[in-house]
Structure 1
Amino acid sequence: MATKTMSAALLLVGATIGISAPASADPSPTPGVPACVYTLSEPQVVQVGAARMATATIAPFPCSGSITPNQSTVCLKPLAGDYRPQCAEGYGPAGAQVYQVYRPGITYEVTGRGCGSTAPQGSVCSSVGPISKTL
């Protein structure tokens, strides 16, 4: 598991005992400024019909102030070979989930970005990740 911050703080749970944890972008440290926490899952393998797929998610909440989540993007990239990242977008508070063809033994990296709308300021966005995991 590798985690870094891009433009937001990350939350690691259980890192001292080797347990992988999702990354979160914390709300704005400035009191009174609307913000959302965006939680990024680590890559995992799921069964979709007859195919095994790698997947990851991003989900908003909690949010502070008068902000409403309006867009979430999550990208999943195999770090071996010449594979392209796959990205998925979600609108509103539902978050997003991305799928990528599963290749055994390859490390996958997930990154995300979430935005929330405020009035009259427009959107407030933050990035989370990357999180890497060999599947």
Structure 2
Amino acid sequence: MIRNWWAPPVAAATVLSGVLAAPAAPAAADDEALPDDVGCHYSLSAPQLVQRANGDRAVRATLSPTTCNRPAAQTDVIVCLKSESGYNRCNKLPGWQTVEVVIPAVPAGGVFTATGKGCWQYILDSFTPGCRAVGPIEARV
């Protein structure tokens, strides 16, 4: 049998991966009741009516990171927008970016709901991840 010198046998790779891979730390709960000194904070915009370049009407919502308590560092920012007709779309970006989501303004004059979630990781000590839910915010547009 010909083997590459750099490729460990399957059994050894399985054992090594079990030894080297530590169990994942439990993530902080998505809980709006998290203390203010935990993780990162975000600002969610209310759904607002916008006009696209082609003249179509749409609804837009954004989620922006605002602050992080040390040693937390942003990892993901997610915003979702849902119409009362059931149309739902989410958008996600990494790190310290404002993320936006835009959906068609259907039904016209309908109620739209924005929600968001921002996630972080403690980078200096435990590498423990966490997330904070934001919203919902409803608006008739």
Q: What TM-score comes out, normalization by structure 1 length?
A: 0.72
- What does residue 132 of structure 1 align with? 138
* Partners of 1:61 and 1:116 in 2: CA distance: 12
Shift in Å, 1:77: 0.4
- What does residue 79 of structure 2 align with? 74
- For residues 36-67 of structure 1, the C-alpha deviation after alignment (integer angstroms, 9 at most, x for no partner) is 11111000011221122101001112111111
Number of aligned residue pairs? 108
Residue 71 of structure 2 aligns to a residue whose secondary structure is: coil
* Structure 2: segments with no counterpart, 5+ residues: 1-29
Shift in Å, 1:122: 2.8
Shift in Å, 1:93: 0.2
- What does residue 115 of structure 1 align with? 119
Question: What does residue range 18-97 of structure 1 map to in structure 2 within 5 Å?
Answer: 28-29=35-36, 31=37, 33=38, 35-50=39-54, 51-79=56-84, 81=85, 83-97=86-100
Shift in Å, 1:106: 0.4
* Structure 1: segments with no counterpart, 5+ residues: 1-5, 10-26
Q: Percent identity?
A: 30
Moved over 3 A (4+): none
Q: What TM-score comes out, normalization by structure 2 length?
A: 0.70
Shift in Å, 1:121: 2.8
- Indicate the RMSD between aligned Cα atoms, in angstroms: 1.8
Which has more strand, going by share of residues?
1
Larger radius of gyration: 2
Residue 46 of structure 2 aligns to a residue whose secondary structure is: coil
* Partners of 2:98 and 2:76 in 1: CA distance: 7
